[in-house]
Copies of this chain bind each other. A is one copy, B any other.
């Protein structure tokens, strides 16, 4: 809170005139952030019908937001689970909606192309790939969001489309999706 006070130019006590507690402020930031991502995603998906293209849009939207607000996302990733029960549920609902959109996209892909893989694992692997970027992306040596999204889209879509050979004894539990 003292950092925010310094950065905003408002006194420490002044912050508490607008935000009743540090936790509620974090809640508002998280809610605004995830709601914005979901809103932008829906806008970009509107009208696009090709599933593969929709998945690429999902990745691009996610990476663009994460790289535009890299410092903020670093904080949000670290403070992801510190909200007390009252605040947490609300944010969790938005996160879940976002997660469900991704599940829907992958289920579409599976249905359309008769694929077989665990949607849950695929979604969480994709989120892992994308979210981890805040730990390594360096604007000086790494490409921009669009390029990275393209390459990650290649990796992920090729990885999920089963045309190569498989392993011995694949597919354990959880082909249908459960809680994130």
- Footprint of B on A, CB under 8 Å? 78, 80, 117-118, 120-122, 124-125, 127-133, 135-136, 138, 141-144, 147-148, 150-164, 166-167, 169-174, 178-180
Contacts and interface: CB of A to CB of B under 8 A. Distances in A.
B159 A136 contact: no
A166 B153 CA distance: 10
B125 A152 contact: yes
Given A122-B155, A173-B143, A164 B161 contact: yes
Given A136-B124, A166-B154, A147 B172 contact: yes
Contacts of A130: 128
B131 A132 contact: yes
A179 B115 CA distance: 36
A142 B173 CA distance: 7
B132 A128 contact: yes
A129 B130 CA distance: 8
Contacts of A118: 151
A122 B164 CA distance: 18
A121 B162 contact: no
B155 A125 contact: yes
Given A78-B78, A133-B128, A154-B167, A178 B141 contact: yes
Contacts of A180: 136
Nearest to A141: B178
A59 to B, nearest CB: 11
Given A147-B172, A159-B159, 4 more contacts: A125-B132, A150-B169, A159-B160, A161-B164
A49 B96 CA distance: 43
